[in-house]
Amino acid sequence: MICLVAFAPIRSFAAPYAAMVIDARTGEVLHSRNADTRLHPASLTKMMTLYITFEAIRNGEISLDTQVRISRNAASEPPSKLGLQSGQRIRLRYLIRAAAVKSANDAATALGEAIEGSEAAFARRMNRTARALGMTRSTFRNAHGLTEEGHLSTARDMTILGRHLFYDYPDYYNLFSRRSTDAGVREVSNTNRRLLSAYRGADGIKTGYTRAAGFNLVASAERGSERIIATVFGGRSSATRNARVAELLDMGFQRAPSRVAVNRPALPVYDDNTTAVASGTSAGTAAGRTIRLVTAVNTSLRPTPRPTQAPTADILIAMQSEIENAIQEVQQSSGTTPAATAETTTTPAPRPSEAETEAIAIAAATQAAEEVGEIVLAAAEPAKIITPEPKPEAQDPVIVMRVSTSGGEHWGVNVGRYGSRYQAERVLLRTALNEMTTLDGALRRVVQRGGGFEANFMGMTEEAAELACRRLQARAIECTPFGPSS
Protein backbone atom coordinates (compact mmCIF):
# COMPACT_ATOMS: atom_id res chain seq x y z
CA MET A 1 0.00 0.00 0.00
CA ILE A 2 1.39 3.27 -1.02
CA CYS A 3 0.63 6.28 1.14
CA LEU A 4 0.66 9.66 -0.45
CA VAL A 5 1.54 12.53 1.86
CA ALA A 6 0.83 16.04 0.75
CA PHE A 7 2.97 18.82 2.07
CA ALA A 8 1.61 22.35 2.34
CA PRO A 9 3.88 25.05 1.03
CA ILE A 10 6.10 26.69 3.69
CA ARG A 11 5.14 30.28 4.27
CA SER A 12 7.72 32.84 5.13
CA PHE A 13 7.47 34.27 8.60
CA ALA A 14 5.63 37.62 8.58
CA ALA A 15 7.33 40.02 11.00
CA PRO A 16 5.25 42.87 12.45
CA TYR A 17 5.24 46.04 10.35
CA ALA A 18 6.10 49.51 11.62
CA ALA A 19 7.02 52.78 9.90
CA MET A 20 8.04 56.34 10.68
CA VAL A 21 8.74 59.40 8.50
CA ILE A 22 10.13 62.72 9.74
CA ASP A 23 11.41 66.01 8.40
CA ALA A 24 15.05 65.72 9.43
CA ARG A 25 15.48 69.50 9.62
CA THR A 26 12.95 69.92 12.42
CA GLY A 27 12.17 66.43 13.68
CA GLU A 28 8.51 66.88 12.77
CA VAL A 29 6.68 63.57 12.35
CA LEU A 30 5.09 63.33 8.89
CA HIS A 31 3.83 59.74 9.14
CA SER A 32 3.85 56.92 11.68
CA ARG A 33 2.41 53.45 12.02
CA ASN A 34 3.11 51.18 14.99
CA ALA A 35 6.07 53.50 15.58
CA ASP A 36 6.29 52.72 19.31
CA THR A 37 5.93 48.93 19.02
CA ARG A 38 9.04 47.18 20.36
CA LEU A 39 10.42 44.97 17.57
CA HIS A 40 13.67 43.29 16.59
CA PRO A 41 15.98 45.92 15.04
CA ALA A 42 18.41 43.43 13.43
CA SER A 43 21.44 45.22 11.96
CA LEU A 44 19.92 48.65 12.51
CA THR A 45 21.63 48.05 15.86
CA LYS A 46 24.94 48.87 14.18
CA MET A 47 23.80 52.47 13.89
CA MET A 48 24.15 52.71 17.68
CA THR A 49 27.45 50.80 17.60
CA LEU A 50 28.81 53.30 15.09
CA TYR A 51 27.38 56.31 16.94
CA ILE A 52 29.24 55.31 20.11
CA THR A 53 32.40 54.61 18.08
CA PHE A 54 32.31 58.12 16.60
CA GLU A 55 31.69 59.46 20.11
CA ALA A 56 34.68 57.54 21.50
CA ILE A 57 36.94 58.90 18.75
CA ARG A 58 35.81 62.45 19.47
CA ASN A 59 36.42 61.94 23.20
CA GLY A 60 39.96 60.67 22.56
CA GLU A 61 39.17 57.22 23.95
CA ILE A 62 40.39 55.59 20.75
CA SER A 63 41.61 56.67 17.31
CA LEU A 64 40.92 55.69 13.72
CA ASP A 65 44.42 54.21 13.47
CA THR A 66 44.25 52.15 16.66
CA GLN A 67 45.25 48.56 15.93
CA VAL A 68 42.42 46.40 17.26
CA ARG A 69 43.16 42.79 18.20
CA ILE A 70 40.32 40.50 17.15
CA SER A 71 39.02 38.26 19.92
CA ARG A 72 37.82 34.70 19.52
CA ASN A 73 34.31 35.96 20.35
CA ALA A 74 34.34 38.52 17.52
CA ALA A 75 35.86 36.10 15.01
CA SER A 76 33.17 33.50 15.72
CA GLU A 77 30.20 35.78 14.92
CA PRO A 78 27.93 34.40 12.17
CA PRO A 79 27.48 36.13 8.79
CA SER A 80 27.25 38.73 7.52
CA LYS A 81 30.94 39.10 8.39
CA LEU A 82 34.27 40.37 7.15
CA GLY A 83 36.04 37.08 7.89
CA LEU A 84 38.34 38.30 10.66
CA GLN A 85 40.54 35.76 12.41
CA SER A 86 41.14 35.41 16.15
CA GLY A 87 44.36 37.22 17.10
CA GLN A 88 44.40 39.28 13.91
CA ARG A 89 45.09 43.01 14.20
CA ILE A 90 43.28 45.57 12.07
CA ARG A 91 42.88 49.34 12.15
CA LEU A 92 39.73 50.71 13.70
CA ARG A 93 38.86 52.65 10.53
CA TYR A 94 38.46 49.39 8.59
CA LEU A 95 36.15 47.95 11.24
CA ILE A 96 33.99 51.07 10.97
CA ARG A 97 33.76 50.72 7.19
CA ALA A 98 32.91 47.03 7.40
CA ALA A 99 30.16 47.61 9.98
CA ALA A 100 28.64 50.63 8.19
CA VAL A 101 28.83 49.39 4.59
CA LYS A 102 28.81 45.59 4.69
CA SER A 103 27.01 45.29 8.03
CA ALA A 104 29.70 42.87 9.24
CA ASN A 105 28.86 41.27 12.58
CA ASP A 106 32.45 40.39 13.47
CA ALA A 107 33.52 43.99 12.86
CA ALA A 108 30.69 45.35 15.05
CA THR A 109 31.61 43.07 17.95
CA ALA A 110 35.29 44.01 17.59
CA LEU A 111 34.36 47.70 17.77
CA GLY A 112 32.43 47.19 20.99
CA GLU A 113 35.21 45.16 22.61
CA ALA A 114 37.88 47.68 21.56
CA ILE A 115 36.00 50.58 23.15
CA GLU A 116 34.61 49.02 26.33
CA GLY A 117 36.65 45.84 26.81
CA SER A 118 33.75 43.43 26.41
CA GLU A 119 30.52 43.20 24.45
CA ALA A 120 28.49 43.15 27.67
CA ALA A 121 30.05 46.41 28.86
CA PHE A 122 29.50 47.92 25.43
CA ALA A 123 25.82 46.92 25.54
CA ARG A 124 25.49 48.80 28.83
CA ARG A 125 26.94 51.86 27.18
CA MET A 126 24.54 51.43 24.26
CA ASN A 127 21.59 51.47 26.65
CA ARG A 128 22.95 54.50 28.46
CA THR A 129 23.42 56.36 25.19
CA ALA A 130 19.94 55.37 24.04
CA ARG A 131 18.43 56.95 27.16
CA ALA A 132 20.44 60.12 26.65
CA LEU A 133 19.24 60.37 23.03
CA GLY A 134 15.59 59.95 24.02
CA MET A 135 15.26 56.41 22.64
CA THR A 136 12.97 55.46 25.50
CA ARG A 137 11.79 52.07 24.23
CA SER A 138 15.10 50.55 23.11
CA THR A 139 17.18 47.96 24.96
CA PHE A 140 20.39 46.50 23.56
CA ARG A 141 22.14 43.24 24.37
CA ASN A 142 24.85 43.11 21.67
CA ALA A 143 26.70 45.29 19.18
CA HIS A 144 25.60 43.58 15.94
CA GLY A 145 21.82 43.11 16.21
CA LEU A 146 21.44 39.34 15.88
CA THR A 147 18.25 38.20 17.61
CA GLU A 148 18.60 37.98 21.37
CA GLU A 149 16.03 38.09 24.15
CA GLY A 150 15.44 41.67 25.27
CA HIS A 151 17.26 43.17 22.29
CA LEU A 152 14.47 45.41 20.98
CA SER A 153 13.79 48.84 19.54
CA THR A 154 11.09 50.82 17.70
CA ALA A 155 10.67 52.62 14.41
CA ARG A 156 10.54 55.92 16.30
CA ASP A 157 13.75 55.27 18.25
CA MET A 158 15.70 54.21 15.17
CA THR A 159 14.50 57.30 13.31
CA ILE A 160 15.73 59.44 16.20
CA LEU A 161 19.10 57.67 16.05
CA GLY A 162 19.37 58.17 12.28
CA ARG A 163 18.77 61.91 12.70
CA HIS A 164 21.46 62.13 15.40
CA LEU A 165 23.97 60.30 13.20
CA PHE A 166 23.42 62.86 10.44
CA TYR A 167 23.65 65.98 12.62
CA ASP A 168 26.01 64.90 15.42
CA TYR A 169 28.70 63.29 13.23
CA PRO A 170 28.46 64.82 9.75
CA ASP A 171 32.14 64.05 9.05
CA TYR A 172 31.40 60.32 9.17
CA TYR A 173 27.95 60.32 7.58
CA ASN A 174 29.35 59.89 4.06
CA LEU A 175 30.24 56.28 4.98
CA PHE A 176 26.60 55.29 4.60
CA SER A 177 26.39 56.50 1.00
CA ARG A 178 29.40 54.56 -0.30
CA ARG A 179 28.46 51.86 -2.79
CA SER A 180 31.64 49.98 -1.83
CA THR A 181 34.70 50.59 0.32
CA ASP A 182 38.10 49.21 1.31
CA ALA A 183 37.72 47.31 4.59
CA GLY A 184 41.41 46.54 4.98
CA VAL A 185 41.30 42.85 4.20
CA ARG A 186 39.12 43.23 1.11
CA GLU A 187 36.71 45.46 -0.79
CA VAL A 188 33.12 45.23 0.46
CA SER A 189 29.80 46.31 -1.12
CA ASN A 190 27.02 48.28 0.52
CA THR A 191 23.97 46.28 1.59
CA ASN A 192 21.84 49.33 0.71
CA ARG A 193 23.32 49.91 -2.75
CA ARG A 194 20.05 49.19 -4.60
CA LEU A 195 18.12 51.98 -2.89
CA LEU A 196 21.11 54.33 -3.11
CA SER A 197 21.23 53.77 -6.86
CA ALA A 198 17.47 53.78 -7.52
CA TYR A 199 16.18 56.68 -5.39
CA ARG A 200 17.22 60.22 -6.26
CA GLY A 201 18.86 61.98 -3.34
CA ALA A 202 19.25 58.87 -1.16
CA ASP A 203 22.51 58.87 0.84
CA GLY A 204 22.01 56.35 3.67
CA ILE A 205 21.57 54.97 6.20
CA LYS A 206 21.37 51.31 7.29
CA THR A 207 19.69 48.01 6.41
CA GLY A 208 18.90 45.09 8.70
CA TYR A 209 17.54 41.57 8.38
CA THR A 210 16.90 38.57 10.58
CA ARG A 211 14.06 36.07 10.32
CA ALA A 212 12.50 37.46 13.50
CA ALA A 213 12.82 41.07 12.37
CA GLY A 214 12.04 40.84 8.68
CA PHE A 215 13.63 43.36 6.30
CA ASN A 216 14.35 46.65 8.08
CA LEU A 217 15.74 49.92 6.75
CA VAL A 218 16.41 53.45 7.97
CA ALA A 219 16.82 55.63 4.87
CA SER A 220 17.61 59.29 4.38
CA ALA A 221 17.36 61.41 1.23
CA GLU A 222 17.94 65.05 0.38
CA ARG A 223 16.36 67.08 -2.40
CA GLY A 224 17.12 70.77 -2.54
CA SER A 225 16.92 72.14 0.99
CA GLU A 226 14.68 69.30 2.21
CA ARG A 227 15.86 66.15 4.00
CA ILE A 228 13.57 63.26 4.88
CA ILE A 229 14.26 60.21 7.06
CA ALA A 230 12.02 57.14 6.66
CA THR A 231 12.13 53.92 8.70
CA VAL A 232 10.50 50.56 7.96
CA PHE A 233 10.41 47.46 10.18
CA GLY A 234 9.13 44.08 9.05
CA GLY A 235 9.44 44.20 5.26
CA ARG A 236 8.68 40.89 3.48
CA SER A 237 11.73 41.14 1.19
CA SER A 238 14.43 43.62 0.36
CA ALA A 239 12.61 44.58 -2.84
CA THR A 240 9.23 45.23 -1.19
CA ARG A 241 10.97 47.00 1.70
CA ASN A 242 12.83 49.32 -0.68
CA ALA A 243 9.63 50.03 -2.61
CA ARG A 244 7.81 50.91 0.59
CA VAL A 245 10.65 53.15 1.80
CA ALA A 246 10.63 54.96 -1.57
CA GLU A 247 6.88 55.58 -1.15
CA LEU A 248 7.42 56.92 2.35
CA LEU A 249 10.23 59.22 1.22
CA ASP A 250 8.01 60.55 -1.56
CA MET A 251 5.26 61.16 0.99
CA GLY A 252 7.74 63.01 3.19
CA PHE A 253 8.90 65.32 0.42
CA GLN A 254 5.28 66.08 -0.47
CA ARG A 255 4.32 66.93 3.12
CA ALA A 256 7.45 68.75 4.26
CA PRO A 257 7.60 72.53 3.74
CA SER A 258 10.13 73.75 1.19
CA ARG A 259 11.63 76.33 3.52
CA VAL A 260 11.93 75.88 7.27
CA ALA A 261 14.43 76.79 9.96
CA VAL A 262 16.75 73.90 10.83
CA ASN A 263 16.42 72.77 14.44
CA ARG A 264 19.33 70.46 15.13
CA PRO A 265 18.84 67.80 17.80
CA ALA A 266 20.65 68.41 21.08
CA LEU A 267 23.73 66.34 21.82
CA PRO A 268 23.14 63.67 24.47
CA VAL A 269 23.46 64.59 28.12
CA TYR A 270 24.13 61.59 30.33
CA ASP A 271 22.71 60.60 33.71
CA ASP A 272 25.93 61.42 35.60
CA ASN A 273 26.15 64.88 33.98
CA THR A 274 29.10 63.89 31.83
CA THR A 275 28.60 64.42 28.14
CA ALA A 276 29.59 62.93 24.90
CA VAL A 277 31.59 65.61 23.16
CA ALA A 278 35.08 66.85 23.85
CA SER A 279 35.49 70.41 25.03
CA GLY A 280 35.34 73.03 22.34
CA THR A 281 32.44 71.54 20.40
CA SER A 282 29.22 73.32 19.69
CA ALA A 283 27.47 71.84 22.67
CA GLY A 284 30.21 72.75 25.09
CA THR A 285 29.84 69.44 26.84
CA ALA A 286 31.54 66.11 26.73
CA ALA A 287 30.48 62.63 27.64
CA GLY A 288 32.39 59.54 27.54
CA ARG A 289 31.90 56.27 28.96
CA THR A 290 29.85 55.43 31.77
CA ILE A 291 31.84 56.93 31.35
CA ARG A 292 35.07 57.19 31.68
CA LEU A 293 36.18 60.48 32.53
CA VAL A 294 37.46 62.68 29.80
CA THR A 295 39.65 65.34 31.40
CA ALA A 296 42.21 65.58 34.14
CA VAL A 297 41.53 67.39 37.41
CA ASN A 298 41.98 71.12 36.84
CA THR A 299 41.97 72.32 40.44
CA SER A 300 43.62 71.19 43.64
CA LEU A 301 41.58 69.03 45.97
CA ARG A 302 43.10 70.76 49.01
CA PRO A 303 40.78 73.29 50.66
CA THR A 304 41.72 76.94 50.37
CA PRO A 305 42.85 78.57 53.63
CA ARG A 306 40.21 80.45 55.59
CA PRO A 307 40.54 84.22 55.01
CA THR A 308 41.80 86.20 58.04
CA GLN A 309 41.37 89.88 58.88
CA ALA A 310 43.68 91.89 61.11
CA PRO A 311 41.98 93.49 64.16
CA THR A 312 41.30 97.22 63.93
CA ALA A 313 42.97 99.81 66.17
CA ASP A 314 39.80 100.20 68.27
CA ILE A 315 39.71 96.46 68.94
CA LEU A 316 43.41 96.41 69.92
CA ILE A 317 42.93 99.27 72.39
CA ALA A 318 39.92 97.54 73.94
CA MET A 319 41.84 94.25 74.19
CA GLN A 320 44.77 96.07 75.83
CA SER A 321 42.44 97.50 78.46
CA GLU A 322 40.89 94.06 79.14
CA ILE A 323 44.35 92.48 79.53
CA GLU A 324 45.48 95.15 82.04
CA ASN A 325 42.24 94.71 84.08
CA ALA A 326 42.71 90.92 84.11
CA ILE A 327 46.29 91.25 85.42
CA GLN A 328 45.15 93.59 88.19
CA GLU A 329 42.40 91.15 89.24
CA VAL A 330 44.92 88.29 89.45
CA GLN A 331 47.33 90.35 91.50
CA GLN A 332 44.58 91.40 93.91
CA SER A 333 43.24 87.84 94.32
CA SER A 334 46.75 86.56 95.21
CA GLY A 335 47.32 89.30 97.81
CA THR A 336 50.05 90.94 95.81
CA THR A 337 50.28 94.73 95.65
CA PRO A 338 52.58 97.00 93.78
CA ALA A 339 54.36 97.87 97.08
CA ALA A 340 54.99 94.22 97.91
CA THR A 341 56.26 93.66 94.49
CA ALA A 342 58.73 96.47 94.84
CA GLU A 343 60.09 94.99 98.11
CA THR A 344 61.07 91.74 96.41
CA THR A 345 62.95 93.52 93.71
CA THR A 346 66.47 94.43 94.71
CA THR A 347 67.40 96.45 91.69
CA PRO A 348 64.34 97.45 89.68
CA ALA A 349 64.88 97.82 85.99
CA PRO A 350 64.04 101.14 84.42
CA ARG A 351 60.38 101.47 83.52
CA PRO A 352 59.78 101.06 79.79
CA SER A 353 58.74 104.09 77.86
CA GLU A 354 55.09 104.70 76.97
CA ALA A 355 55.72 103.77 73.34
CA GLU A 356 57.38 100.47 74.30
CA THR A 357 54.54 99.63 76.70
CA GLU A 358 51.99 100.22 73.96
CA ALA A 359 53.95 98.04 71.52
CA ILE A 360 54.09 95.17 74.05
CA ALA A 361 50.36 95.43 74.73
CA ILE A 362 49.45 95.48 71.05
CA ALA A 363 51.70 92.48 70.36
CA ALA A 364 50.12 90.56 73.23
CA ALA A 365 46.64 91.46 72.04
CA THR A 366 47.41 90.39 68.48
CA GLN A 367 48.76 87.04 69.63
CA ALA A 368 45.69 86.48 71.79
CA ALA A 369 43.39 87.26 68.85
CA GLU A 370 45.13 84.70 66.62
CA GLU A 371 45.20 81.83 69.10
CA VAL A 372 42.44 79.20 68.92
CA GLY A 373 41.02 77.48 71.99
CA GLU A 374 40.58 78.41 75.62
CA ILE A 375 42.72 81.19 77.18
CA VAL A 376 43.84 80.25 80.71
CA LEU A 377 45.22 82.97 82.96
CA ALA A 378 48.08 81.59 85.06
CA ALA A 379 48.78 82.97 88.51
CA ALA A 380 50.81 86.12 88.22
CA GLU A 381 54.40 85.86 89.43
CA PRO A 382 55.08 88.51 92.03
CA ALA A 383 57.84 91.03 91.94
CA LYS A 384 59.19 90.58 88.42
CA ILE A 385 59.40 93.53 86.12
CA ILE A 386 60.25 92.61 82.54
CA THR A 387 62.67 94.83 80.74
CA PRO A 388 61.86 94.75 77.03
CA GLU A 389 64.62 93.71 74.71
CA PRO A 390 65.73 96.26 72.16
CA LYS A 391 63.93 95.97 68.86
CA PRO A 392 65.97 94.24 66.14
CA GLU A 393 66.96 96.29 63.19
CA ALA A 394 64.58 96.11 60.25
CA GLN A 395 65.57 93.52 57.65
CA ASP A 396 64.71 93.25 54.03
CA PRO A 397 61.67 91.00 53.50
CA VAL A 398 62.45 87.43 52.42
CA ILE A 399 60.86 86.63 49.08
CA VAL A 400 60.25 82.93 48.39
CA MET A 401 60.12 82.14 44.69
CA ARG A 402 59.38 78.85 42.88
CA VAL A 403 62.48 78.20 40.88
CA SER A 404 60.87 76.04 38.19
CA THR A 405 57.84 73.89 37.57
CA SER A 406 59.88 70.78 38.27
CA GLY A 407 61.21 72.10 41.59
CA GLY A 408 64.76 71.84 40.30
CA GLU A 409 64.53 68.03 40.17
CA HIS A 410 65.22 66.22 36.94
CA TRP A 411 64.19 62.61 37.54
CA GLY A 412 60.87 61.03 36.73
CA VAL A 413 59.01 57.74 36.34
CA ASN A 414 57.22 56.23 33.35
CA VAL A 415 54.05 54.22 33.94
CA GLY A 416 53.46 52.94 30.44
CA ARG A 417 52.71 53.81 26.81
CA TYR A 418 49.12 54.00 25.58
CA GLY A 419 47.21 54.30 22.35
CA SER A 420 45.68 57.71 23.06
CA ARG A 421 46.37 60.81 25.11
CA TYR A 422 43.10 60.22 26.97
CA GLN A 423 44.21 56.78 28.14
CA ALA A 424 47.63 58.08 29.28
CA GLU A 425 46.08 60.97 31.22
CA ARG A 426 43.58 58.63 32.87
CA VAL A 427 46.37 56.26 34.01
CA LEU A 428 48.38 59.19 35.39
CA LEU A 429 45.44 60.46 37.39
CA ARG A 430 44.56 57.01 38.75
CA THR A 431 48.22 56.30 39.66
CA ALA A 432 48.61 59.67 41.41
CA LEU A 433 45.54 58.98 43.54
CA ASN A 434 46.76 55.47 44.43
CA GLU A 435 50.31 56.56 45.34
CA MET A 436 49.99 60.02 46.87
CA THR A 437 52.85 59.45 49.33
CA THR A 438 55.67 59.52 46.77
CA LEU A 439 53.98 61.20 43.79
CA ASP A 440 52.49 64.19 45.61
CA GLY A 441 53.94 67.27 43.95
CA ALA A 442 55.21 65.43 40.85
CA LEU A 443 54.12 66.81 37.50
CA ARG A 444 51.91 64.62 35.26
CA ARG A 445 53.04 64.81 31.66
CA VAL A 446 51.98 62.91 28.51
CA VAL A 447 54.67 62.67 25.81
CA GLN A 448 53.82 61.50 22.29
CA ARG A 449 56.62 59.26 21.06
CA GLY A 450 57.02 56.27 18.76
CA GLY A 451 53.40 56.03 17.74
CA GLY A 452 52.10 56.10 21.32
CA PHE A 453 51.55 58.34 24.33
CA GLU A 454 53.91 57.88 27.29
CA ALA A 455 52.54 58.58 30.77
CA ASN A 456 55.25 60.22 32.90
CA PHE A 457 55.63 61.81 36.33
CA MET A 458 58.31 64.53 36.25
CA GLY A 459 60.17 66.77 38.70
CA MET A 460 61.40 64.14 41.18
CA THR A 461 64.72 63.32 42.87
CA GLU A 462 66.46 60.10 41.96
CA GLU A 463 65.62 58.63 45.38
CA ALA A 464 61.96 59.65 45.11
CA ALA A 465 61.67 58.18 41.61
CA GLU A 466 63.17 54.85 42.67
CA LEU A 467 61.00 54.70 45.80
CA ALA A 468 57.86 55.47 43.79
CA CYS A 469 58.64 52.68 41.31
CA ARG A 470 59.27 50.16 44.08
CA ARG A 471 55.94 50.99 45.67
CA LEU A 472 54.07 50.89 42.35
CA GLN A 473 55.72 47.64 41.25
CA ALA A 474 54.68 46.10 44.58
CA ARG A 475 51.11 46.82 43.46
CA ALA A 476 51.74 45.19 40.06
CA ILE A 477 51.78 48.59 38.33
CA GLU A 478 54.27 49.07 35.50
CA CYS A 479 56.90 51.67 36.43
CA THR A 480 60.35 52.65 35.12
CA PRO A 481 62.49 55.48 36.62
CA PHE A 482 64.47 57.71 34.27
CA GLY A 483 67.00 60.48 34.73
CA PRO A 484 67.87 63.68 32.88
CA SER A 485 70.02 61.81 30.33
CA SER A 486 67.39 59.19 29.53
Which residue numbers are catalytic?
43, 46, 103
Provide the angle, in degrees to the nearest 10, between the axes of the packed helices 45-59 and 155-168: 30
CB 73 within 8 A of CB 119: yes
- Cα separation, 320 vs 17, in Å, equals 91
**Cα gap 82→394, rounded to integer Å:** 83
Nearest to 36 by CA among 261, 183, 272, 233: 233
How far is residue 289's CA from residue 272's CA, in Å, rounded to a whole number?
10
Kindly give, in sequence order, each residue whose CB lies less than 8 Å from that of residue 158, ignoring residues fewer than 6 positions away: 20, 41, 44, 47, 138, 216, 218, 231, 233
